[in-house]
């Protein structure tokens, strides 16, 4: 596919031109109850073209290679004096992002993994509600009139299962760049359900500990959007004009790191062709930085932090890579009483500007002086920015989606 030809057409017409090419392969097998329900194979690819001229930008996309895409982009012009294209840079490839083992993984192996997970659940007298195992391979190439020509590949292997045990449901899932032992998924789901079965209803005020899984679900709708420079510039972030201020507990350090070896969202570059980097957002509770793409960085006379994300059919937008809340030396053993929350429901109703939220807890338990009491569903609410002022990260780190975090202790209240 001659992507350079599209660049030449744009330049011949007086436009700076960028071509974003993306292709992906996906294979997955799902359960409906304990029965194998579906087998899916998908191939997706497409091209997105952006052009620049006289403070205007145009965009068009297609899932077919056709020169007309450039001409359509040249007709779809809008005023935009801040968008520019990336300049050539030196890139460093993170380790552990692409594995040929995933590319060569047969469908029979995926089915074997799925059956293994299912049978573990059934052998432990639990009911399988749903589940799935999948693999995917992605490829992106970005070229532009400035001389950028960069490409990256990644692979993913995912497994998940949803179960019921003695009337209590639980879900567990995991995604990594390479294949892993899927048995741990089933055993974790069983452990969650068993610890939650026959739960009691209580009202409680004190230490509330959110697991990395619960944090991922909550922070994606509350804390994370506040670090986007676009939200800051549009007055949609409570963190606006607070650089250099103490905003959280002094044991809170937050980093965005797209260069992290084995990170789920690591890459040599972002989707504008800017090299990824390690950006300290909060250090010892003090706000240090926001996340930028090229456009939002130009608005403030700054440089991009390598946080542009896109697909071939969309324009770039700001998104975190690996969003890391650093651990401390504290552990669960340091606390005599707490409620531990493994999952939450309803985080999408949170207010991303103020940080206010109210969610239903799931797969949770009350701990006091060595005794564990399963809990029925209760309500947990508050303001995430206020809660981080007293928050204490623990030492049990894991990656859940873009979030890499330990469990975190907050002061809060559960209402039954």
Rounded to a whole number of angstroms, the distance between the first and last alpha carbons of the chain is 60
pLDDT at 1 over 80: no
Q: What is the mean pLDDT of residues 121-130?
A: 97
pLDDT at 393: 98
**For 149-194, how does the pLDDT look when each residue is reduced to its tens digit (9 = 90+)?**
999 999 999 999 999 999 899 999 999 999 999 999 999 999 999 9
- Write down the pLDDT at residue 297: 98
pLDDT tens track for 103-123:
999 999 999 999 999 999 999
Give per-residue pLDDT as tens, 306-344.
Answer: 999 999 999 999 999 999 999 999 999 999 999 999 999
Its pTM surpasses 0.85: yes
Question: Which residues are within 8 A (CB) of 240 and not within 5 positions of it... i.e. 6 or more apart?
Answer: 232
Question: Cα–Cα distance between 308 and 270 in angstroms, integer?
Answer: 5
CA dist 407 and 148 (Å) reads: 41
Average pLDDT over residues 378-400: 97
Q: What is the pLDDT of residue 49?
A: 98
What is the Cα–Cα distance from 133 to 117, expressed in whole angstroms?
Answer: 10
The percent helix, strand, coil of the chain (3-state, each to 5) is: 20, 40, 40
d(CA 136, CA 98): 11
φ, ψ for residue 64, nearest 5 deg: -130, 145
Helices and strands, counts by H and E, the chain: 9, 22
Given a cut of 90, is residue 416 above it in pLDDT? Answer: no
Q: How confident is the model at residue 290 (pLDDT cuts 50, 70, 90)?
A: very high
For the cut 80, the answer to whether the pLDDT of residue 298 exceeds it is yes
The two three-digit tokens of residue 350, written as one number: 């949170």
Question: Whose CA is closest to 29, among 99, 101, 122, 116?
Answer: 116
pLDDT at residue 376 above 90?
no
The Cα–Cα gap between 341 and 262 comes to 27
Q: Where are the beta strands (DSSP E) in 248-330?
A: 254-257, 278-283, 286-287, 308-309, 317-318, 323-325
Residue 101: CB partners within 8 Å, gap ≥ 6? 178, 179
């Amino acid at each position: 596919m001659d992507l350079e030809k599209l660049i030449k057409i744009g330049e011949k017409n007086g436009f700076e031109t960028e071509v974003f090419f993306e292709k992906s392969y996906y294979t997955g097998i799902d359960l409906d109850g304990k029965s194998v329900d579906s087998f899916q194979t998908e191939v997706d690819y497409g091209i997105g073209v952006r052009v620049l001229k006289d403070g205007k930008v145009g965009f068009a996309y297609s899932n077919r290679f056709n020169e007309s895409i450039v001409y359509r982009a040249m007709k779809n012009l809008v005023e935009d004096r801040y968008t520019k294209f990336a300049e050539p840079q030196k890139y460093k490839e993170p380790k552990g992002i692409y594995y040929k083992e995933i590319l060569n993984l047969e469908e029979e192996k995926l089915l074997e993994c799925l059956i293994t997970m299912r049978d573990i659940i059934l052998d432990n007298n639990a009911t399988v509600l749903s589940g799935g195992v999948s693999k995917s391979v992605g490829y992106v190439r970005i070229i532009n009139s400035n001389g950028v020509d960069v490409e990256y590949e990644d692979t993913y292997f995912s497994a998940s299962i949803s179960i019921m045990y003695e009337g209590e449901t639980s879900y567990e899932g995991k995604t990594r760049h390479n294949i892993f032992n899927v048995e741990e998924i089933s055993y974790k789901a069983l452990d969650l359900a068993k610890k939650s079965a026959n739960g009691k209803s209580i009202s409680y005020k004190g230490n509330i500990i959110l697991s990395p899984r619960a944090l991922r679900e909550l922070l994606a709708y509350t804390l994370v959007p506040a670090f986007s420079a676009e939200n800051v510039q549009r007055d949609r972030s409570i963190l606006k004009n607070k650089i250099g201020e103490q905003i959280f507990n002094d044991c809170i350090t937050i980093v965005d790191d797209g260069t992290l070896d084995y990170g789920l969202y690591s890459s040599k570059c972002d989707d504008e062709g800017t090299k990824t980097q390690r950006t300290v957002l909060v250090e010892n509770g003090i706000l240090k930085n926001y996340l930028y793409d090229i456009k939002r960085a130009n608005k403030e006379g700054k440089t991009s932090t390598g946080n542009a994300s896109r697909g071939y059919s969309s324009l770039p937008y700001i998104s975190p890579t690996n969003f890391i809340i650093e651990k401390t030396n504290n552990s669960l053993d340091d606390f005599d009483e707490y409620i531990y929350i493994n999952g939450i429901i309803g985080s999408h109703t949170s207010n991303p500007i103020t940080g206010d939220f109210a969610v239903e807890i799931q797969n949770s338990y009350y701990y006091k002086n060595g005794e564990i009491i399963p809990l029925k569903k209760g309500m947990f609410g508050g303001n995430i920015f206020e809660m981080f002022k007293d928050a204490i990260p623990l030492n049990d780190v894991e990656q859940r989606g873009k979030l890499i975090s330990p469990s975190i202790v907050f002061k809060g209240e559960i209402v039954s």
